[in-house]
Structure 1
Amino acid sequence: MKKAVGFDQKLQLHQLDHIAREFSRVENRQQLYDLVDQNLMADIAGAKARLNARTILFKIWVLVDNENVELRDRGLQLFANASREERLLLHWGMKLLAYPFFRDVADQVGRLFQLHGEFSSLQLSRKIFALYGERRRVSVSMGAVLGTFKHLEVISEQKKLYVNAEKIPIHQLEFKLWLIEIMLKATEKSAIELKQIATEPCLFPFNLDITESELRNSRLQVTRQGIDMVMVVLR
């Protein structure tokens, strides 16, 4: 069976900010549909393209799986006073949860950056086609994800090669903990070694340094295996 793709429209930060900000203000979902559609008109002329973008935005922040509602709600609480970089982190985490295709492209991009420091569209296409099959829908969606990366300024294009933008530091502990929990759920990992968190490929835009002491009294559990292996476990 072919793997679902779904992410077929480039998104911009202000579009993501708009739906996250308005979600808690509106009285009903229809009102939110109308507000989002009106906001998208400034960027997207075609009704079909706007519908696609709106569908993606709603899946990211509104129509989340029941098991992720609590994470989404915590994300919205953090969003209220977040900086631009912190808002980007929140949107990134919710996209990882909502769209496995987005997560897989982010993962492969992160791996290519770790190996080569740059990548071409051809290199990425080979990786994604191996996972999803070589079909037009996959090509279109990969272009949409890369376009989103560029709009969010986490990659840039230089001489037909993509390079990593400067990593975004995360200073606030609550944002670090939220993103780690999101990453574990999105990648379907029950645990990860503490020192591997900073190099998790799908989190390539961020500088995510966290210590064992910062994890104490959090929703994540820390266990030790052997002398020097510290594991972070999703409760």
Structure 2
Amino acid sequence: MKKAVGFDQKLQLHQLDHIARELSRVENRQELYDLVDQNLMADIAGAKARLNARTILFKIWVLVDNDNVEIRDRGLQLFTNASREERLLLHWGMMLLAYPFFRDVADQVGRLFQLHGEFSSMQLSRKIFALYGERRRVSVSTGAVLGTFKHLEVISEQKKQYVNAGKIPIHQLEFKLWLIEVMLKAAEKSAIELKQIATEPCLFPFSLDLAESELRNNRLQVTRQGIDMVMVGLR
């Protein structure tokens, strides 16, 4: 059985900001569709491509799985007063939840950065083809996710090689805890070792420095295994 792809149009930060902002304000679904479509016209001339982008945006922030509504709503609350970097973190988390394909590409990019410090589009394509099969839809969607990374300025291109644009420091604890919870849900992990959070491949754009004492809240639980292994999991 072929794995679903779905992410076939590159997105920009202001497009993601717009739907998150309007979702908190507009209750009528059709009105929200129209507002998003109108906003996309400035960037995307073709009706089909615009429909694809709108479909992706709605899946990220509006048409979320029932299990993710509560964490989405907390993300919207955080969005209200978030900085650019924090808004990017919120969008990143919601894309991880909405699109396993996005998560897999982010994971492979993070691993390539850890191994080589850079990668080519051909290297990335080989990794993704191994997971999803070598077909045109996979190639198009890989390019769309890569284009989204470039628009979000988390990678940059130098001499046909992609490099990390630099870790984005996240200082506010509530954003870091939200992203860890999202990552665990998106990756379907019951727990992760505390010291591995900082190097989790799919979170490659962000610097998440955390102390054990900061992780004790009503949604995450911390357990010790042995002398120095601290595990962080969902309650």
| Interval of TM-score (by shorter of Structure 1 and Structure 2) | over 0.9
CA distance in 2, matches of 1:31, 1:112: 42
- TM-score using structure 1 length: 0.99
SS in 2 for 1:102: helix
Shift of 1:210: 0.7
CA distance in 2, matches of 1:90, 1:199: 18
SS in 1 for 2:198: helix
Cα distance per residue 1:30-63 (max 9 Å; x no partner) = 0000000000000000000000000000000000
Gaps of 5+ in 2: none
SS in 2 for 1:18: helix
SS in 2 for 1:157: strand
CA distance in 2, matches of 1:117, 1:56: 30
SS in 1 for 2:94: helix
* 2:80 corresponding residue in structure 1: 80
CA distance in 2, matches of 1:135, 1:27: 39
SS in 2 for 1:24: helix
CA contact (8 A) 1:106 1:203 kept: yes
SS in 2 for 1:199: coil
Shift of 1:27: 2.6
CA distance in 2, matches of 1:45, 1:189: 40
Moved more, 217-226 or 151-160: 217-226
CA contact (8 A) 1:215 1:221 kept: yes
CA contact (8 A) 1:110 1:202 kept: yes
CA distance in 1, matches of 2:138, 2:215: 38
CA distance in 2, matches of 1:13, 1:151: 7
Moved more, 217-226 or 43-52: 217-226
Answering whether residue 102 of structure 2 is matched by residue 102 of structure 1, we say yes
Shift of 1:218: 4.1
Cα distance per residue 1:66-115 (max 9 Å; x no partner) = 00000000000000000000000000000000000000000000000000
CA distance in 2, matches of 1:120, 1:138: 16
CA distance in 1, matches of 2:230, 2:183: 17
Shift of 1:209: 1.1
CA contact (8 A) 1:191 1:232 kept: yes
Shift of 1:219: 1.4
- TM-score using structure 2 length: 0.99
SS in 1 for 2:15: helix
Runs of 4+ with deviation above 2 angstroms: none
SS in 2 for 1:142: helix
CA contact (8 A) 1:177 1:218 kept: no
CA distance in 2, matches of 1:133, 1:166: 31
CA distance in 2, matches of 1:24, 1:10: 23
Cα distance per residue 1:138-157 (max 9 Å; x no partner) = 00000000000000000000
CA distance in 1, matches of 2:110, 2:172: 23
Shift of 1:24: 1.4
Cα distance per residue 1:157-188 (max 9 Å; x no partner) = 00000000110001000000000000000111
SS in 1 for 2:156: strand
* 1:35 corresponding residue in structure 2: 35
Cα distance per residue 1:176-225 (max 9 Å; x no partner) = 00000000001110000000000000000000111100012341000000
SS in 1 for 2:233: strand
CA distance in 1, matches of 2:117, 2:218: 34
SS in 2 for 1:91: helix
CA distance in 2, matches of 1:166, 1:129: 27
* 1:46 corresponding residue in structure 2: 46
